[in-house]
């Protein structure tokens, strides 16, 4: 059935005054609390529409280019699925080894090429600031899908959406970020987003992998209440959201340093005995041993639902930058 035939189907007009129309999404710092509320509302609407009609033509005729210089499963495929469900199509360069990058082509030249074909560019790159550089050269909106240890704004918006959908609020919660807080870009972006809320933040990491001082400074400046720990036991019982991350192996210069910290925290059913019955466990994935598979059937394990929420948030972001939301 065409969406137009549904009584309360959305109208698919280009809204040139729509928030974020034609804008790049490079950092969560671009999003005021009002902007965040807007994304969450649009994502919720996308969730309802997908449940009701699956796919629709909101972005028909539009093309998204996925340009990934680093591995990805969820981010690349969810942006592709998001665009397909919005009725658009996708150019995928998920393995730059097989593109002209392997011949030595620069990022600006690759970006200028793809903007000739596509309406929006999604970029993952190992260097901090690469998305900003791409945006400088690209006339079409660029969405940062992870720039090295920098930021991962769409993931953080997904994380926020997950908390809101699962717990129906954000203000008043105690959020514990666990694992590699030094190199994990998702926790950098999420911590920054949480500055807009009245949350209590617990940062738990090995001593060698703390949250970068400049982000702690931002948390302080925002008046966010946070403490740093090395032991999860100290904070678990009061936690509402346990956000687990993997140690970012690819950021370590030597294997020994990585081996010394990997496996520092492993969440098991035993761990969850000390947690609140309504706590949620999140993870941006991939997990590589930080959460035992025995936890998967616990209703508190929200990480697979979080993956699904990623589709709706990325649909919202793509529609927004294309002026269709």
Binding-site ranges for ligand ASP (CB under 6 A): 146, 152, 185-186, 246, 284-285
Residue 56 vs 309, nearer CB to ligand ASP: 309
Q: Minimum distance from CB of 34 to ligand ASP (Å)?
A: 26
In the three-class reduction of DSSP (H, G, I as helix; E, B as strand; rest coil), residue 284 is classed as coil
The DSSP secondary structure of 45-93, one letter per residue, reads HHHHHHHHHS---TTTT-EEEEEESS--SHHHHHHHHHHHHTT-EEEEE
How many Å apart are CA 188 and CA 48, to the nearest integer?
30
Please identify, using beta-carbon distances, which residue of 62 and 246 lies nearer to ligand ASP. Answer: 246
**Tokens read off for 90:** 């996708």
Smaller CB separation from ligand ASP, 18 or 295: 295
Where helices occur in 200-325 by DSSP H, the ranges are: 213-221, 255-261, 269-272, 303-321
How near is the Cβ of 22 to ligand ASP at its closest, in Å?
A: 26
171-187 burial: b if 16+ Cβ within 10 Å, else e: eebbbbbbbbbbbbbbb
In three-state secondary structure terms, 11 is coil
Cβ 282 to ligand ASP shortest distance, Å: 11
Furthest CA-CA distance within the chain: 61
CB 90, min distance to ligand ASP, A: 19
125/140 with CB nearer ligand ASP: 125
CB of 126 to ligand ASP, least distance (A): 11
- State the minimum distance, in angstroms, from the CB of residue 186 to ligand ASP: 5
Cβ–Cβ contacts within 10 Å for residue 195, how many? 19
Query: Cβ closer to ligand ASP: 86 or 282?
Result: 282
Between 95 and 234, whose beta carbon lies closer to ligand ASP? Answer: 95
Residue bearing tokens 């105690």: 174
Q: Which C-beta is closer to ligand ASP: that of 182 or that of 185?
A: 185
State in angstroms the smallest separation of the CB of 155 from ligand ASP.
6
Chain centroid to CA 32: 17
Q: How many residues does the chain have?
A: 325
Residue number closest to ligand ASP, CB atom: 284
The DSSP letter of residue 192 is H
């Amino acid at each position: 059935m065409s969406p137009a035939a549904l009584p309360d189907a959305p109208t698919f007009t280009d809204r040139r005054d729509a928030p974020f129309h034609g804008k790049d999404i490079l950092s969560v710092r671009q999003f005021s609390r009002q902007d965040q509320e807007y994304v969450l509302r649009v994502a919720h609407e996308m969730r309802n529409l997908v449940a009701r009609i699956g796919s629709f033509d909101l972005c028909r005729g539009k093309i998204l280019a996925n340009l990934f210089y680093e591995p990805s499963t969820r981010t690349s495929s969810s942006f592709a699925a998001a665009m397909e469900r919005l009725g658009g199509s996708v150019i995928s360069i998920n393995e730059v080894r097989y593109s002209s990058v392997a011949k030595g082509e620069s990022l600006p030249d690759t970006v200028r090429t793809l903007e000739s074909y596509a309406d929006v560019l999604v970029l993952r790159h190992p260097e901090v600031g690469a998305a900003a550089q791409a945006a400088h050269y690209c006339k079409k909106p660029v969405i940062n899908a992870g720039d090295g240890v920098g930021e991962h704004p769409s993931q953080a918006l997904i994380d926020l959406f997950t908390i809101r959908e699962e717990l129906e609020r954000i203000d008043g919660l105690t959020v514990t970020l666990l694992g590699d807080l030094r190199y994990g870009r998702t926790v950098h972006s999420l911590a920054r987003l949480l500055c807009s809320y009245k949350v209590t933040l617990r940062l738990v990491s090995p001593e060698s992998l703390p949250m970068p001082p400049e982000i702690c400074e931002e948390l302080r400046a925002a008046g966010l209440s946070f403490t740093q720990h090395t032991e999860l036991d100290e904070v678990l019982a009061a936690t509402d959201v346990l956000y687990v991350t993997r140690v970012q192996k690819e950021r370590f210069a030597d294997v020994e340093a990585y081996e010394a910290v990997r496996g520092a925290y492993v969440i098991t059913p035993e761990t969850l005995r000390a947690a609140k019955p309504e706590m949620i466990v999140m993870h941006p994935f991939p997990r590589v041993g930080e959460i035992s598979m025995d936890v998967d059937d616990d209703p508190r394990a929200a990480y697979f639902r979080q993956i699904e929420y990623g589709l709706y948030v990325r649909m919202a972001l793509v529609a927004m930058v294309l002026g269709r939301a």
